[in-house]
């Protein structure tokens, strides 16, 4: 790994400013909001925000700042270089048509998962709106747990040192040893089932897919916990998800 003297810390802080406009956060933020979420001073946040405005990546009314569609250029450049995602998107749509539930694909990015494809159901199942590019904490999601279960011992150690195991509901795993145990079970079972760990009322099941090189994907099916039991997830959803995973493996492998 390159030493820290090979990195540009101001660029890294700028990325944190962009990430402060993440999932579940008001799209319009003050300088104080951004400084708090990006863990920097107000003066630093102000400089980064006005730089984004100058480049056309953000706009301001003098008090609040929000990102502009121009920020999508970076993500679009990455996604267009991954033509296999079009096929994965088609596979997810087939899953949604078959089972009537939302299906997604995600990759691990640091301590989060980032959505790279999504097929939403007609009914809403989460309080927040998810789309390609959305980020969620890996430890509290089925796709995150499926992906974490595939890490090497060293990779998992690094993740656990960096991760904030925030408790989102009473059932969220916030203990590192408990998470290690869960991931061991997920790896042995070949799937991750998460019930109301990210949001009350939400249940999800996922499987991991090995892509090219070290690229790893996970795909999932999510449903309202009151409507779809854990037994149905495993007995009905999992076989369909595994079939879709085999199809996706041929595309991304």
pLDDT digits (tens, 9 = 90+) for 46-73: 989 998 888 888 888 888 998 886 666 6
What pLDDT is stored for residue 74 in this prediction?
Answer: 61
Same domain? For 203 and 162 the reply is yes
CA atoms of 176 and 245, how far apart (whole Å): 28
Same domain? For 126 and 51 the reply is no
What pLDDT is stored for residue 1 in this prediction?
Answer: 43
Same domain? For 162 and 192 the reply is yes
What pLDDT is stored for residue 29 in this prediction?
Answer: 86
Q: Which CATH number do you get for residue 8?
A: 1.10.10.10
What pLDDT is stored for residue 126 in this prediction?
Answer: 58
Could you tell me which residues come within 8 angstroms of residue 242 by beta carbon, excluding any fewer than 6 positions away?
190, 191, 207
Is residue 26 domain-resident? Answer: yes
Same domain? For 90 and 64 the reply is no
Q: 171-189: per-residue pLDDT in tens?
A: 999 999 999 999 999 999 9
Same domain? For 55 and 15 the reply is yes
What pLDDT is stored for residue 4 in this prediction?
Answer: 47
What pLDDT is stored for residue 25 in this prediction?
Answer: 60
What pLDDT is stored for residue 229 in this prediction?
Answer: 94
Same domain? For 154 and 56 the reply is no
Same domain? For 111 and 46 the reply is no
The residue with tokens 């042995």 is: 188
- Supply the range of the domain harboring residue 172: 82-252
Is residue 186 domain-resident? Answer: yes
What pLDDT is stored for residue 2 in this prediction?
Answer: 46
User: Closest by alpha carbon to 121, among 140, 143, 95?
Assistant: 95
Same domain? For 86 and 207 the reply is yes
Report angle CA 229, 171, 153 to the nearest 5 degrees.
100
User: Closest by alpha carbon to 248, among 206, 193, 186, 189?
Assistant: 206
Note if the pTM is more than 0.95. Answer: no
Spans in the chain with pLDDT lower than 70: 1-8, 22-26, 69-86, 124-129, 211-215, 251-253
Q: Which CATH number do you get for residue 232?
A: 3.30.450.40
Same domain? For 188 and 130 the reply is yes
What pLDDT is stored for residue 223 in this prediction?
Answer: 92
Is residue 77 domain-resident? Answer: no
CA atoms of 245 and 143, how far apart (whole Å): 13
CA atoms of 131 and 135, how far apart (whole Å): 9
Same domain? For 117 and 240 the reply is yes
Is residue 76 domain-resident? Answer: no
Final residue in a domain of this structure, among 35, 51, 71: 71
- Count of the separate structural domains present in the chain: 2
User: How many residues does the structure list for the chain?
Assistant: 253
Same domain? For 97 and 214 the reply is yes
């Amino acid at each position: 790994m390159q030493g820290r003297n090979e990195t540009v810390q101001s660029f890294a802080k700028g990325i944190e400013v962009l990430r402060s406009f993440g999932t579940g956060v008001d799209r319009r933020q003050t300088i104080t909001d951004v400084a708090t979420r990006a863990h920097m001073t107000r003066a630093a946040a102000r400089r980064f925000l006005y730089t984004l405005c100058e480049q056309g990546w953000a706009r301001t009314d003098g008090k609040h700042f929000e990102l502009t569609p121009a920020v999508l250029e970076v993500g679009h450049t990455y996604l267009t270089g991954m033509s296999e995602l079009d096929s994965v998107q088609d596979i997810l749509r087939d899953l949604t048509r078959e089972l009537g539930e939302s299906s997604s694909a995600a990759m691990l990015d640091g301590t989060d998962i980032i959505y790279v494809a999504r097929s939403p159901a007609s009914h809403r199942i989460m309080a927040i709106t998810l789309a390609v590019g959305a980020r969620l904490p890996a430890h509290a999601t089925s796709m995150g747990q499926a992906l974490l279960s595939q890490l090497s011992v060293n990779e998992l150690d690094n993740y656990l040192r960096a991760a904030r195991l925030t408790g989102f509901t009473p059932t969220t795993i916030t203990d590192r040893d408990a998470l290690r145990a869960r991931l061991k079970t997920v790896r042995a079972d070949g799937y991750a089932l998460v019930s109301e760990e990210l949001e009350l009322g939400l249940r999800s099941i996922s499987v991991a897919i090995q892509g090219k090189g070290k690229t790893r994907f996970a795909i999932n099916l999510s449903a309202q916990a009151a409507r779809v039991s854990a037994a149905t997830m495993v007995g009905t959803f999992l076989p369909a998800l595994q079939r879709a995973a085999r199809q996706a493996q041929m595309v991304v492998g």
